[in-house]
Amino acid sequence: MAPAEDGTVSLHGVSSVRTAADAILSISKGDYPVPPSGFRASDDVAAMFNRWERYRRGKELLSNTGYFCFTVLKRSVLDMAGKHKVLEVVSERYCIDKDVLRRLSELCSTKGDDKTARKALKKGSSSYTQDEVRWIEAVVKAVIRRAGEWAHDPNQRLPQITMDQFP
């Protein structure tokens, strides 16, 4: 562009501004919902729920939480079962299929990487898939609820928790 006779040069330009932001919406309730009828928060239930809450807040590994819940159930029957029959007695007492209990124990003991594993595993161990994470979460919630149902009435016949109930 050539200057005008008086030496001024006119320039025209276009500018734009682009911004980006991330936002997190958190909705929380002041109180937890009332526990369902037929449920008692025994010491074992409270301990398992405390671990679940720590996991949900990012303060505990899922593998630790799942295995802790599994071992709380095992501990609750040790006085009734020899070491070799613990899984059977847990399964019978809480009406949880042995395959569910075995899978929970297996995933929490033999999977994960250096950030997610409950214990040091051999190099190259695989991380949890999203399906495995969802499965463990669903089973831990079911185990806690079942322990609370059993604590409410140990003599009731509860419906069996089976593998096909989980994602």
Q: What are 133-145's pLDDT values in tens digits? A: 999 999 999 999 9
DSSP 167: -
pLDDT at 74: 94
Closest CA to 41 of 28, 100, 33: 33
Is the pTM of the predicted complex or chain greater than 0.95?
no
* Backbone torsion region of residue 166, taken as left when φ is above 0, otherwise alpha when ψ lies between -120 and 50, otherwise beta: beta
State how far the alpha carbon of 25 is from the alpha carbons of 45, 56, 113, in Å: 30, 16, 30
Q: What are 5-60's pLDDT values in tens digits? A: 776 766 666 766 676 666 666 666 666 666 667 888 999 999 999 999 999 999 99
pLDDT at 50: 97
pLDDT at 78: 84
pLDDT at 2 over 70: no
Each domain of the chain, given as residue ranges in start order, spans 43-165
In this prediction, residues 85-91 reach a mean pLDDT of 91
Closest CA to 61 of 152, 149, 159, 128: 128
Higher pLDDT, 167 or 149: 149
Count the helices and strands in the chain (H runs, E runs).
Answer: 5, 0
